[in-house]
Structure 1
Amino acid sequence: METLIGQFSRFTVSTDLDTNDWVMAATEFGVNDTLKDIDRFHASWNHRDNDQQANTTQFLREVAEEEEDKALGVMQRIYTLAETDRDTLEKYPALEILENKDPETGVLYSTFRSEQFLNLDNTPGTFYPDLVDDINQCYSIGVNDATLVLTRKLLENLIIDILRKQYGKQGIDLYYLPENHRFKNFSTLLNNFKENLNDFRHLSGGLDSDFIDELNAFRQNANAEAHSIETNITEDEMEDYREQAQHASQILFRVKENI
């Protein structure tokens, strides 16, 4: 929700919306009293002051704390009043969720989640923590396909780092194509990891052929979502993916750290 509110607040200050639009939306969803209580909300919008975005963010946060559905309703209503195009969604991708409505009822059906997709502590470096944050943000606003694709990227990079750390330049053929200046594809990396699994079993429990099969299944599912024109992943499926990804990433991080 924080990602959506942040991007939405930034988006609105670049539009031709005015305080009357906000009053209408707030009244429609029964939160006009909350709007009135935001100091300088109307003044900042009337005069386009520097605190316009901050006041908008505060209003939406307070509504969301009371009831997230109302905050979503206000944002969706305001969104329909603003002029938008594909460039808008490229600049503020979280706003795409506001276009998802039930065609008959007009009710938002997108999922917002409070829990994390990956709950990992003390991930090393900067690349992995940033990537895990991106995964969790996509999951929190219900962008399921991006969640799976980024998780696939995480697992693939962990396999590369494990092979590189274990075998170094002498075993470069296991993970890299020098002539093409790129790493081998995920499928080949998994096969090479599986063929040398005995070199890693002592570093973590749970390293067996079933684990490799689980990784490969996740890879295939993420690939399918990345290349699908239309995605329709159920909540039960996402929960299964979440458990698989959590288990796999914990084991791979443990292996990497213990080499």
Structure 2
Amino acid sequence: MEDWALIANVLMTGATCFMAYATWLMARATKKSLEAQWKPYVAVYPRLRKDDSQALQLVIENIGSAPAYNVKFEIPSNLMYNAWGISSGGKTKAKIFSEGPFITGIPYLPPRGKRIINWGQFGGILNSLQGKQAEVIIFFSDALGNQEPPVKSILDIVDFEMTAGESSLEYRIATAIEKNFKQVECLNSILEKKLNSYSSKDAYMWAYIAVQLGLPIELAERQKFDDGLSDEQRTSAEMLARSLLKSFRPEMVKDEDES
């Protein structure tokens, strides 16, 4: 009987030790899980602007549940900002980061804290990325000063192509402005040749049209085309100019001009 009692005690001791060890493992796992949940996690991602479906922003956000400290960034050379432009394939006018959070860092970023940067428009961003993705490496610490593992955010906008391509009012305005700007550039080029015409009368006529259209030709500049013209020639040139405007831009001809 004593042997059975001894065996029972040993088994009970072993079971107690096993339960204690299992409880310790569960407590350790729970602690790690809670620690993992109560940590900062900083990410960089693109999003569409709420007021313009053609423009994208770069968002720096702490999506973790604890504050992030001493946030620093390592950015590639093809990550730029203000990359405006509707069409791809052109020369980029985007700016290289020389200031802002990507350069100076962020000393303190609370949970759900954000920094928002205007990235640009779809075409301009594609041009600035030079056909590559932009990889941003983010470094930060927790409240105890412990360095967290670096986070890599991969930035690309290929998947935004359909969503960013919606024909919003802002997009239509931007397209119209871009088209009008090209037309004005072309018209200025034509006028430059016309204003260097061998005929003073013709040059005066084109200068008159340019002024009526609101193109950047100063009144003083216009006067130089008036050299050597008689009153009759000047009047004739203005009549020809009004005739051309009436044919192609009737809204530019006032009633008093027709009289």
Q: TM-score range by the shorter chain?
A: under 0.3
Q: Is the radius of gyration larger for structure 1 or structure 2?
A: 2
State the TM-score, normalizing by the size of structure 1. 0.26
More strand per residue: 1 or 2?
2
State the TM-score, normalizing by the size of structure 2. 0.26
